[in-house]
Structures are given as C-alpha cells and as structure tokens.
C-alpha cells in the first residue's frame, strides 16, 4: 500500500445541500497533500469526515488499508481552522489533558511536552493561562498538541494563520521535518505560495466536486501551454519584433531585466521544440532571457475554478 489515506466516492448532504459529491482522494504515504478549494467548497466537511467528526452519507474512507474506526483517532492529528483552547486553563494542564484524550499516558505526555516546549523555547509558559498568551503563542501550543502523539496522518487547516513570518517559517520547517520522519500531511490553505513551497500532491475541490488532483508537477505539466518568456536585445528592435510576430503567436511580457529589452511571451504549437525557437531567436538578436512559463498553483487554482 502506497497510499496512507484513501477516500472513495464520499458524499455528504446537509438537508438539501450537497456538501460533497462523490469525492475520491488518495494521499500517498510520506507526502504533503494540498487540499485546495474556494471557500465553502467542502474541504472542511471532507476533513471532518476523515476525523470521524461527521459520518459520510455514502462512500468509504480507508486509513492504512483499514476502514476508519474510532481507534484511528490516535493515528490522526488535526489542527482545525476554527481552533482555540480553554482560556482559563493553564498551558501545561491543558496540553496534558488534550494529549491524554489522544491516548497518551500522563508520564509519556509530560516527557514529550518537555521536548517540544524546549524545542520551541517556550518552557516558561507551562503555568501560564491561555488567556495570558498572544494569539500566535496560543497557536504554537495548538501545533504542539496536534503533533504530540506522533500520528501517522497530520491534517493542518490553515496552519500559518496568526503567525508572524518568523514563526510561520518555524512551523513550516517543523512540518517538513515531521514529513521527513515519516508522517503524511494533509494541508488545506488558501495561501498558494505555501502550497507551491510544501505540497507534492494537490486535490482541488470546487462546489462539492473534486475537479483536479494529482502530483503538483504533473498538473503543472498538464496546464503548461508551451509558452516561453524571452528577453532580446537588438539594435533593430522593430524589425526583429515583426519577424517574430510573423512566425509565432506573441504576447507582451513583463519581467525585470537590466536592459531595455524586447520582452515577449512566445507561444509555440503543441509539438514545436523550444530548441527551434531558440536557434531562430539567436540568429536574429542577442538572447538575455529564455524561460518556460510554468503555471503557478495560484494560476491553476483560478483557472480551474473559473472554468467550472
């Protein structure tokens, strides 16, 4: 089995509203899986079904080859988007309580908490109440509580909200480290740059349906249009420009460059080779910039959502 989590045609209705319609995803072991979609698409419902908070109307979910059972709660760590802690409880007590709910023994939980508190340098918070902490500080506690029981599957819903860039980086590094240690991560966010940075796989849910999924690179390959961004320098700009325009489909491009170049996006036909383009260009002008345009996760997101 290479997939840790497999959801098979999962549907869920709330009254007449269809929150999920036959959604299937497969999350490979050891990957960071981006679960994307506009607001209200059904991501949270799917995540809640994986966490056994809500039950699906149809379809099955398998974790590590077994249908989801209450015992699997120990194998999952979930950081919900709507998150908080008991305000008037002390940090240490609270962490111990939540860890014990996940099945850790009290002494085990203490040892692990000490490790994490030292690692994130927050040892002196143990006896503070949550209401004395800032939002970002409380988020750190929340992160620790989520990963403390070393689950096989981690689900983060907007994990970086409320963090300053330094702490966001810290958490990002922790997530990557957890992945390297063997955990599988489902990552739901609207921040596309972090998807770009972290995710190996993505699935896009839109209006209760899964509209896209696969390896991020495969998807990008699918979405690329064989377009190249070029920067040329020539004494005879107008002539070069018109010659290129006769031969290729051309769009203006913007990028930063030192010289006042001709900046173009050149779209090649489906089977045309970039080498042919390059040799044509070198024969006409000096090439300073030549790059394939690869669609960003954000472009793919917007394009897919608009088309559906």
Partner 1 sequence: MNHLPLIIKREYLTKVKNKSFIVMTFLSPLIMIALVAVVAYLSQLNNDKERTISILDETGYLNDVFQNTEHTTYTNLSGLSLKDAIALVKEKEDYGLLHISNVDSLELISNNVKFFSEESPSLSVISGLEQRIEKRLREMKLQKDGVSMTQIEASKTNIDIAQESFEGEKSSKIDNIVKLAFGGAAGYLLFMFIIIYGNMIMRSVIEEKTSRIIEVIISSVKPIQLMMGKIIGTSLAGITQFAIWVILGGVLLVVVSSIFGIDLTQVQTPQQEMMNQAMQADGAQAMAENLIVAIGNLPMANLIVAFMFFFIGGYLLYSSLYAAIGAAVDNETDTQQFMLPILMPLILAVYVGVFTVIEDPHGTVSTVFSFIPLTSPVVMLMRIPFGVPLWQQGLSLLLLIGTFIFAVWFAAKIYRVGILMYGKKPTYKELFKWLKY
40 in contact with partner 1 (CB under 8 A): no
Tell me the closest approach of the beta carbon of residue 153 to partner 1, in angstroms: 12
Beta strands 184-188 and 201-206 are unpaired
E runs forming strands in the chain: 3-14, 17-28, 32-36, 58-63, 66-67, 76-79, 153-157, 184-188, 201-206, 209-215, 227-233, 249-252, 262-267, 286-292
161 in contact with partner 1 (CB under 8 A): no
**Using the rule CB under 8 A, which residue among 101, 251, 291, 294 binds partner 1?**
101
Cα dihedral angle (136, 142, 146, 149), rounded to 10 degrees?
120
Tell me the closest approach of the beta carbon of residue 55 to partner 1, in angstroms: 9
48 in contact with partner 1 (CB under 8 A): yes
Residue pair 251/282 in contact (Cβ under 8 Å)? The answer is no
223 in contact with partner 1 (CB under 8 A): no
d(C-alpha 198, C-alpha 187), whole Å: 9
Choices 85-93, 191-199, 221-229, 277-285 (CB under 8 A): range interacting with partner 1:
85-93
With respect to partner 1, which residue has the nearer C-beta, 52 or 167?
52
Helix (H, G, I), strand (E, B) or coil at 201: strand
142 in contact with partner 1 (CB under 8 A): yes
Backbone angles phi, psi at 275, to 5 degrees: -60, -40
With respect to partner 1, which residue has the nearer C-beta, 78 or 160?
78
**Using the rule CB under 8 A, which residue among 9, 40, 58, 103 binds partner 1?**
103
Determine the Cα angle at 21 with ends 15 and 23, to 5°.
140
With respect to partner 1, which residue has the nearer C-beta, 59 or 214?
59
Report the interface residues with partner 1, using CB under 8 A: 14-15, 48, 51-54, 70-71, 73-74, 76, 78, 80, 82-89, 97-98, 100-103, 142, 145
């Amino acid at each position: 089995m290479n997939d840790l989590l497999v959801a098979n045609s999962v549907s869920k209705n709330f009254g007449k509203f269809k929150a999920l319609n036959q959604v299937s995803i497969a999350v490979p072991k050891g990957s960071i899986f981006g679960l994307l979609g506009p607001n209200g698409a059904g991501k949270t419902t799917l995540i809640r079904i994986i966490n056994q908070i809500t039950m699906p109307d149809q379809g099955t979910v398998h974790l590590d080859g077994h249908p989801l059972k209450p015992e699997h709660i120990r194998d999952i760590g979930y950081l919900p988007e709507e998150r908080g802690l008991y305000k008037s409880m002390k940090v240490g007590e609270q962490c111990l309580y939540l860890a014990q709910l996940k099945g850790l023994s009290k002494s085990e939980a203490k040892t692990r908490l000490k490790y994490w508190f030292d690692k994130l340098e927050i040892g002196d918070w143990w006896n503070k109440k949550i209401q004395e902490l800032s939002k970002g500080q409380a988020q750190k506690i929340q992160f620790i509580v989520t990963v403390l029981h070393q689950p096989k599957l981690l689900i983060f819903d907007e994990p970086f909200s409320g963090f300053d860039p330094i702490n966001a980086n810290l958490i990002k590094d922790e997530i990557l480290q957890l992945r390297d240690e063997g955990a599988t991560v489902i990552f739901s966010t609207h921040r596309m740059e972090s998807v770009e940075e972290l995710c190996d796989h993505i699935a896009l849910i839109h209006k209760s349906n899964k509209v896209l999924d696969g390896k991020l690179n495969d998807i990008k390959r699918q979405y690329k249009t064989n377009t190249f961004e070029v920067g040329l320098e020539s004494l005879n700009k107008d002539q070069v420009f018109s010659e290129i325009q006769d031969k290729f489909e051309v769009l203006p491009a913007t990028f930063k460059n030192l010289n006042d170049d001709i900046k173009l996006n050149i779209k090649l036909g489906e089977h045309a080779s970039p080498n042919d383009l390059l040799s044509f260009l070198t024969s006409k002008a000096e090439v300073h910039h030549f790059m394939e345009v690869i669609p960003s996760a954000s472009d793919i997101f917007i394009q897919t959502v608009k088309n559906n």
